[in-house]
Structure 1
Amino acid sequence: MTAPAQDNGWLRAMPWVFVLIWSTGFIVARFGMPHAPPMKFLAVRYALSILCFLPWIWVARVRWPTNRTQWLHLSVTGVLMHAGYLGGVWAAVKAGMGSGLSALIVGIQPVLTAIWLSAMGGAEGHVTRRQWVGLLLGFAGLLLVVSRKFGTGGAGDQANWLNLSFAVLALFSITAGTLYQKRFVKPCDVRSANSVQLLAALVVTLPLALIETETIRWTGELMGAMAWSVLGLTLGGSSLLYLLIQRGAAAQVSSLMYLVPPCTALIAWMVFDEPISIITLAGIGLTAFGVSLVVRPPKPV
């Protein structure tokens, strides 16, 4: 009788563990970005992550996807959710976009996902009035959280057609990847599925990394950022995201992304002593309330 209770407890904790891990991505970027070009960093991250997954798969005797179609679907999601999303965000910041604007653009994802699902209809596409209210409140809270970051990054912290293109690419990649995985990817072991996704992302990212003229400088900060990117963000965060999409409704999973910037603000306050204003705290509360409206199960009829 204890195992099911433990399993249910883990399932309830999964979304919040995911948000906590995913929020550290911006912290990792702050440590790693000055020492490596974005595509080279991501290519090394994908390669090391695959090397970590393969022994685990071999020891655990995990089965790989059984047909080419499943390999294809996993590869598409890997290109979208790893190469497209991460590559777009890192490239946008490297090209001069501030973290506030990049977080706000990518933060449109839950609303974009809900609009698509409502347009398509069906059981998965039903977004209730309460969830719409939660999505809009969550976005308003996100706007409050990131508002203090606008115009605070100096002359290089500005939007132009190049970094806006990268940020929009990231937005559409994570949105399309979430919808595509929920629609086409059949449940399979997260370790082998993630390996296929990472391999596809590496194939796309590696040629871009080779074009970059800047070299990687293996400082202590970069090695720490790389280690956490592989072990925490990819093996932990990406695996949890895969499981959440498989188990939950796309709109509910996407709404969790609203919590990432507020959680990042709290981590930055603890790690870098970045100030938190009353407006930021209000935004965190509003975002959390909005997400709670989206993920709350409907009342039994």
Structure 2
Amino acid sequence: MRFNWQVLALGVTFCVLWSSAFTVGKFAVQAAPPLWFLVIRYSLGFLLMWLVLVAMRRRLPDNRADMWTGIWLGIFNNALYLGACYIAFRTVSSGMVAMIASLMPLVTVGLAWPVLGEKPTVRKLAGLALGLGGAWFILGHRLNAESAVDDPLGIAIAAVGMICLACGTVLYKRRGADADPLAMNAVQSGAAGVVLLPVALILEDPDITFGWTFIWTQAYTVIVMTFATLLIWFALIRKAGAGAASAFHFLNPGIALLIAFIALGEPVTRSDLLGLIPVAAGILMVNWPARREGTS
């Protein structure tokens, strides 16, 4: 693992883009119902990725197993995870949703043991306990504050979405890691759009305000979040390795709170800052490359 200025720049850039998506999502649900916004986003994303595949003379997976893996990843990672997050944006601050989503690596450790047979090390178990303890500290203080702005039901919905993302991560490790990432991403977007469409028809009115907010949030989520973050992520993996790249996730909760504070004026309290310390430390301990310790 080599940390140089290029690795640092790529890692921080990826974290800023990943974290900014939550603030963008908060703006997005002001212009469109959550599920309708995502249906349009995933439809545009699938079309754009399919055109890129054609231009690069590549194609969607022709292996049935890869195709079904991509579909299930689309259901877990895109439809359920982001669907839950966008619904939560209606009643929960973007910083809180981001903090909950940042716990995904911790939950993945717990799921990978029974599903993948990856027995966690003492360090990872300590990181899991530390991170969840910090999250519980932040959550407790936010819900008990006199000026509480986060709805408990919305927090629960965001937590369910985060668990779905952890399930998708485990599935990817088990079945999709060797497939073409661009093709799998296209399948995921297409599957998510198909799954969310009937749900949106049943639960929401397509009351969309086709103004500037809708346009820029769609452009940002489709182009920046679908392509830019993917390219930066793989560049980071090439430069630093998968383990070192994953370790950068410890920056996400703090950066997300900072962006939400700047762009939306969401308050950041002393208890938030205190709770972020064990959350970030726990995520770092879980994701830190094993070869430094000579263990897995």
Q: What TM-score, normalized by structure 1, do the two folds share? A: 0.78
Give me the whole-angstrom Cα distance separating, in 2, the residues matched to 1:282 and 1:21: 24
Q: Which residue of structure 2 aligns with residue 128 of structure 1?
A: 121
Q: Which runs of 5+ in 1 are unaligned?
A: none
- Residue type at the aligned position of 2:176: V
- Residue 267 (str. 1) matches residue 259 (str. 2): yes
- Residue 113 (str. 1) matches residue 108 (str. 2): yes
Which has the larger displacement, 106-115 or 207-216? Answer: 106-115
Deviation at 1:229, TM superposition (A): 0.9
Aligned match for 1:38, one of 34, 40, 63: 34
1:239–1:175 distance in 2 versus 1, CA, 3 Å: farther
1:110–1:146 distance in 2 versus 1, CA, 3 Å: same
Q: Which runs of 5+ in 2 are unaligned?
A: none
1:42–1:256 distance in 2 versus 1, CA, 3 Å: farther
1:182–1:263 distance in 2 versus 1, CA, 3 Å: same
Deviation at 1:52, TM superposition (A): 1.9
Deviation at 1:176, TM superposition (A): 1.0
Deviation at 1:277, TM superposition (A): 3.8
- Residue type at the aligned position of 2:80: G
1:156–1:148 distance in 2 versus 1, CA, 3 Å: closer
Q: Which residue of structure 2 aligns with residue 215 of structure 1?
A: 207
Give me the whole-angstrom Cα distance separating, in 1, the residues matched to 2:131 and 2:210: 39
Q: Which residue of structure 1 aligns with residue 51 of structure 2?
A: 55
Deviation at 1:194, TM superposition (A): 0.7
Deviations 1:16-75 (A, max 9, x none): 443322211221122111221011100111111122212222222224323111111111
Deviations 1:158-203 (A, max 9, x none): 334xx56643541331111110111011423322111111111111
Report 1:250-289 matches (<5 A).
Answer: 253=246, 259-289=251-281
- Residue 20 (str. 1) matches residue 13 (str. 2): no
Give me the whole-angstrom Cα distance separating, in 2, the residues matched to 1:244 and 1:209: 36
1:15–1:81 distance in 2 versus 1, CA, 3 Å: farther
Aligned match for 1:188, one of 179, 182, 189: 179
Deviations 1:251-275 (A, max 9, x none): x95x766643321111123333444
Q: SS state of the match for residue 150, structure 1?
A: helix
Percent of pairs with identical residues: 29
Give me the whole-angstrom Cα distance separating, in 2, the residues matched to 1:48 and 1:10: 32
- Residue type at the aligned position of 2:184: A
Q: Verify the 8 A CA contact 1:142 1:258 in the aligned structure 2.
A: no
Q: What TM-score, normalized by structure 2, do the two folds share? A: 0.79
Deviations 1:103-127 (A, max 9, x none): 56545533332222233564xx132
1:297–1:154 distance in 2 versus 1, CA, 3 Å: closer
Deviation at 1:233, TM superposition (A): 1.6
Report 1:61-100 matches (<5 A).
Answer: 61-94=57-90, 96-97=91-92, 99=94
Q: SS state of the match for residue 80, structure 1?
A: helix
Which has the larger displacement, 186-195 or 226-235? Answer: 186-195
